[in-house]
Structure 1
Amino acid sequence: MKKISRTLLIFFVTLILLLTVFVSAIYVLSNSRMGQTFAVNPTPIPKFISKEDLTEGKRLYQSRGCGDCHDVDGSGKTFISDPAIGTISGANLTAGIGGILRDRSDEELAIAIRHGVGKNGRALIFMPSTDFQGMTNEDIGKLVSYLRSMPSIDKEQGEINPGPLGRFLFLIGEIPILVSAEQIIHETNHLQNLKPTVSLEYGKYVAATCTGCHGMKLVGGPIQGAPPEWPPAQNITKVGLSQYTETTFIQSIRTGKRPDGSEMKFPMPWQSLAKLTDIELKALWMYLQSI
């Protein structure tokens, strides 16, 4: 009996040691990649001051889902809080105490948005820049100008601490968004402007907003970094949208209700996407139907 107890004790001690080594390795490797620096050449960003342009900047902030992580007032919020995945909070985007606008130029903000790279070249954690890397200089300028027009809010940065499962999934390639800067070609020449038209080119531009949840090929599946209780994202290619027409697709985005009357549930950000213009939605539909 004593021999069996000793064997079990040795087994459990060995198991604990192996798990400790495994978890330690996960943290060492993930910290190494999360601490990377990237050299990005700044691109001149146009400034906007007219009421019309600032209103468009606000619409871009809302329709591109910025408030999902940074809150409606730009002060930031904790949007993932899970012991395994981790705690992830969006930055305070205002000029208040704790806000990043106090010491960032427009060009640095553009790099953060499109490249996932922060101050001193450090990689930003869980910044979905792959969604925004193609934004034109004009749209970035209107968005940044709107941020600078927002009221200052004193609020310190919330916690950013990826958990063991989140780090492990990152290391095996399941959550690349954890360090999106690794996925982006930083030598890209950004478009100055892109005229909104009902076209495949413009539809592809708008569809970039959807890639964070629906994947780069927009075929859906588990959402990167999401807690296990979140449902998978829908396939939004032509196959996945076979029950929709252009009219019902636009109506669903505007109302949050599918053609069969069922409601789009969290985390589908239909309230944000409802801010897309008719041209954007028609172009988006055209592009999705082409896939």
Structure 2
Amino acid sequence: MAKTFTINPTPIPKYISSQDLLEGKRLYQSRGCGDCHDVDGSGRTFINDPAIGTISGANLTTGNGGILNERSDEELAIAIRHGVGKNGRALIFMPSTDFHGMTNEDVGKLISYLRSAPAVNKEPGDIKPGPLGRFLYLIGEIPIFVSAEQIDHDVKHLENLKPTVSLEYGKYVAATCTGCHGLQLIGGPIQGAPPEWPPAQSITKVGLTHYSESSFIQAIRTGKRPDGSEMKFPMPWQSLAKLTDTELKALWMYLQSI
């Protein structure tokens, strides 16, 4: 967990128009950033278990205790897409495998939104992996503890990707789901989750047998499955409901191809 990485920075575009900042806000909401960094970006403790550990998201504002004043856009992009923080240190429990494929355009809009958001004075919470968390990490059960080890740091990031109902764009959106549903999207126990959390279901074609495209989109929008049952925590349907129709249709197309 003390391993360091050398990442070559990629120039990140900056955005100032209200339309681009709104898109950055939508990306923050729809990609689940608030689950760890809270709705206002000030950070929150999202795991507090004596065995697994205490894990908190950073304050992503310009307020006291926030990190934005101390990071360039390029450094923030490295943290988001590579799971690597200041001085090359690995970030603990940063799910960068979900965001590694984000385009420079999307990362730029996300960061520009964060810089435009209200400052919140809040000191960062603790990040202290517990004994069971360390053990599970060592035997490969919680690789997200150091996601930087799972990532190809030499990959060239796409500048942009046009939103279309296509397999390529669906795969791009599906990366958001890998943190809970696994890199193969076949479900199973969620990494680092407390034992009372239910396992994630398979969202491959086999796992979505009882869905059609329309009922899949309806379920994401409302949190209710086709049989009327409710999606319960930790399924972040409230965040995913911010996905556009194009994103959801492309996601459905991609999931049906697996």
Task: State if a TM-score over 0.5 links the two structures.
Answer: yes
Instruction: Work out the CA distance in 1 between the residues paired with 2:133 and 2:72.
Output: 32
Measured against aligned partners, the alpha-carbon deviations of 1:150-174 in whole angstroms (never above 9, x if no partner) come to 1111111101011111110000000
User: Could you tell me which residue of structure 2 aligns to residue 149 of structure 1?
Assistant: 116
User: Could you tell me which residue of structure 2 aligns to residue 182 of structure 1?
Assistant: 149
Runs of 4+ in 1 over 2 A off after TM superposition: none
Aligned counterparts, 1:1-291, within 5 A = 34-291=1-258
Measured against aligned partners, the alpha-carbon deviations of 1:108-137 in whole angstroms (never above 9, x if no partner) come to 000000000000100000000000000000
Instruction: Work out the CA distance in 2 between the residues paired with 1:144 and 1:59.
Output: 12
The unaligned stretches of length 5 or more in structure 2 are none
Give secondary structure in 1 for the equivalent of 2:152: coil
User: Could you tell me which residue of structure 2 aligns to residue 20 of structure 1?
Assistant: none
More helix by share: 1
Instruction: Work out the CA distance in 2 between the residues paired with 1:257 and 1:170.
Output: 34
**Cα distance, 1:267 vs structure 2:** 0.1
**Cα distance, 1:241 vs structure 2:** 0.1
Q: Please say which structure displays the higher CA radius of gyration.
A: 1
- Equivalent AA in structure 2 for residue 146 of structure 1: Y
The unaligned stretches of length 5 or more in structure 1 are 1-33
Instruction: Work out the CA distance in 2 between the residues paired with 1:167 and 1:103.
Output: 29
Give secondary structure in 1 for the equivalent of 2:80: helix
After superposition, the CA RMSD in angstroms is 0.3
Query: Given the two structures, how large is their TM-score scaled by the length of structure 1?
Result: 0.88
**Cα distance, 1:102 vs structure 2:** 1.2
Instruction: Work out the CA distance in 2 between the residues paired with 1:122 and 1:156.
Output: 20
Instruction: State percent identity of aligned pairs.
Output: 84
Give secondary structure in 2 for the equivalent of 1:81: strand
Aligned length: 258
Query: Given the two structures, how large is their TM-score scaled by the length of structure 2?
Result: 1.00
